[in-house]
Amino acid sequence: MRTWWAVASISAALIVTACILAQASPSTATDRTLPSAVRSPALCKAVGRLDKLVVRRMDAFPQNGIHFSFPAVVEVDRVSSVRYAARIVCHLPPMPAGRFACPLDLGITYRLSFTAPGRMFRTVVVAVTGCELVSGLGRTRWVARSPHFWHQLGKAMGLVDATYATFRGTPAGG
């Protein structure tokens, strides 16, 4: 019984946090009024020079026992795949302004670290659950309205037929 209450309490806290972040994160300015550095972050300007991507899965609640069909760290050094991944991330839409009721956030994120010869870029963090926010590219972006994103990222990583479910994982016993 205690375990159930602990899980329920943590889940409620995560939902409230995700909704607060969704309300606070987006800018109310349109892309045209944002400085060019925010509209086109350094990573997006350097897509043609990128040569490596490291994708790291982070699980804030490993006690949930979620299983994945691919390793927690995937290195991509095929230049065309690295640049493809950067293009799909850079083309994600900005998070719209307003309040949102987000699904449960299981604490699973992917940290995308891109490099070019002699240069590292700010890590892009993509949340696979909750509001599916993307940070590290200036203005907060949003995956939830980009249904092919997870398949495209999986393709760039060399995963076969990856989907949202591939990145979200499978609960223990599920």
Q: What is the mean pLDDT of residues 69-90?
A: 97
Q: Where are the domains of the chain?
A: 2-168
3-class DSSP state for residue 144?
coil
What token pair was written down for 158? 């060399």
Distance CA 58, CA 125 (A): 10
| pLDDT band of 61, cuts 50, 70, 90 | very high
SS3 string, 22-72, reads HHHCCCCCCHHHCCHHHHCCHHHHCHHHCCEEEEEEEECCHHHCCECCCCC
Structure tokens at 115: 């490099």
pLDDT at residue 174, as a whole number: 61
pLDDT at 18: 41
Could you report the per-residue pLDDT of 5-46, keeping only the tens digit for each?
Answer: 444 444 444 443 444 343 333 333 333 433 333 345 799 999
Residues 92-124 have pLDDT tens digits of 999 988 888 888 899 999 999 999 999 999 999
What local confidence, expressed as pLDDT, does residue 145 receive? 86
DSSP for residue 109: E
The reported pLDDT for the residue numbered 40 is 53
Q: Are 108 and 166 in contact (CB under 8 A)?
A: no
Q: For residues 101 and 130, give the distance between their C-alpha atoms in angstroms, rounded to a whole number.
A: 9
Highest mean pLDDT among 26-30, 59-63, 76-80, 145-149: 76-80
pTM of the model: 0.77
